[in-house]
Amino acid sequence: MFELFQKNPVPDVDTRVLPLHFFDDGPLWRAFLLYTMFVVDDVLDADKLKTSLERLVLKDGWWKLGARLRMNRTGDLEYHLPSEFSSERPAIAYTHVEYDYDSVKHPLACRLPRASERPAIVCNPNEFLGLMRPENSPTKLGDYVNSDRPQLGLHIVSFKDATLVSLYWPHTAFDAMGQKTLLEAWSLILQGKEDAVKEPYGSDFDPLATLGQSPNETHRLAHQKMGTFNLIYYGISQLASFFRQQENRMVCIPASFVDRLRETAISDLRSLGSKDAFLTESDILCAWWTRFATAHLPSHSSRTVVLNMAYDLRKPLQRDLIPKGSIYLSNAVGFINVILSVKEITGNPISYTASAIRGAINELGTREQVESFQAMVRNSSAKLPPFFGDRNMHMVTLSNWTKAKLFDVDFSAAVIGENTDETVEKGKPRYIQNTQNGLILPNGFPIIGKDSGGNYWLSGHMKKGHWARIEKLLAEES
């Protein structure tokens, strides 16, 4: 953290200074830098991608993407917007690497995965960091605060048969749904539809400035909120996991398998007398994966397992803070917690855990419960989300980005030439991976989303050795 207080190397010649939104500038989001790589089996015009993204930054309300991050004397982050952009002070960080051959001839690109026919570990995403992170790319928040680096970075790797498009930014700027907003606007500009690009709501004020100030009901899990002593005990017990060697893997779950999981889960509920059984694919997928994420624990254990699920707040906040139909380019994330035991997860069908997840979302995802949860964040001395459970619990963090529809990003307006492969969807990514710098969260699993074939992709970090066990268990799945 000390590097955040170093003297800024660039003179302050900015004409506009704005604070970050309250829920953007917290220790949790400060800890993450996000990188997303889109693998497109088409040749894309790199210059067109760059210039269209630069034009987006110049549009009303999108200035934040080109702002510089600074820390003021009170320790709060600020956006400093250059009076004008130039080659010396660009709107986005941009790098381009071009190869005069097909991707299959590249030692790394040739191993980029394709969808599997059964649930399987398909790669270690860290193997491809050299393809998605340019030289001297940021690795911590201080690399933004202590440089003249724009918030948004674009790195393109071009082959004769494919293009890898990577975006990177500090999590303080926006979340996964914010990335959706960015990608859709970028695509519109690529297509020459600049007038259709909306101005982000709250670009010049904080719409969530009052969120968490007026809770009118008690949070449903308040009785299970960990106190200071238990939180310290849990924190100390988990310290080692942040220093142990972690392994990162990508898993593909085919559409046909997800369909069978859902049919079985719904059938199980109906057999128990639930005529109006409702479970989403997300509920079932998260429940199914929880079994693998806890497979290293004794199956008959009574140990508490807390599913800590990231929850997009845009919909519940439509009532009063974020108007329906608007776009919000910031962080609007809460957490839904599901508290079970290991033996509940392993000793019951997947429908049991999926129902617990659906019930928690219905109960804790209301506008009133969101207010109560965010009040606990606001009132925390560390400005962190509350922890529910007990000091010996095992936590699994799930962040489902499916609603961000990352696989729907449309780069077709930048395609050069024609692709004779009929299996390729023009300008659409066939593979996406996300990696992060800064804090590596053990047992944290982002679900990247669902591709055009209906296949799901998820990744995550686990203690060395756990993935080998999961690989064997996945091989047993039909």
In angstroms, the first-to-last Cα distance of the chain is 47
For residue 2, which amino acid is it? Answer: F
Q: CA nearest 369: which of 217, 207, 211?
A: 217
Q: CA angle, corner 318, sides to 312 and 321, nearest 5?
A: 95
For residue 143, which amino acid is it? Answer: D
Q: CA nearest 286: which of 374, 217, 344, 355?
A: 355
SS3 38: strand
Mind giving me the DSSP string for 130-193?
Answer: HHHS-TT---STHHHHTS--BS-EEEEEE-SS-EEEEEEEETTT--HHHHHHHHHHHHHHHTT-
In this structure, the strands spanning 246-253 and 456-463 are antiparallel
Euclidean distance between CA atoms 18 and 203, whole angstroms = 10
Torsion of Cα atoms, 469 then 474 then 475 then 478, to 10°: 150
Burial class of residue 139, CB neighbours in 10 A (0-12, 13-18, 19+): exposed
Q: CA nearest 158: which of 94, 93, 100?
A: 100
Euclidean distance between CA atoms 47 and 53, whole angstroms = 10
The answer to whether 116 and 251 are in contact (CB under 8 A) is no
SS3 328: coil
Contacts of 437 (CB under 8 A, 6+ apart): 32, 33, 35, 138, 139, 140
- Edge to edge, the sheet with strand 444-450 lists 120-123, 246-253, 456-463, 444-450, 394-400, 304-312, 333-341
For residue 182, which amino acid is it? Answer: L
Structure-token pair, residue 462: 């686990």
The answer to whether 342 and 298 are in contact (CB under 8 A) is yes
Euclidean distance between CA atoms 248 and 190, whole angstroms = 34
Instruction: For the beta carbon of residue 295, count every other beta carbon within 10 angstroms.
Output: 16
Mind giving me the DSSP string for 352-404?
Answer: HHHHHHHHHHHHHSSHHHHHHHHHHHHH-TT-----BS-TT-EEEEEEE-GGG
Q: Which residues are catalytic?
A: 171, 410
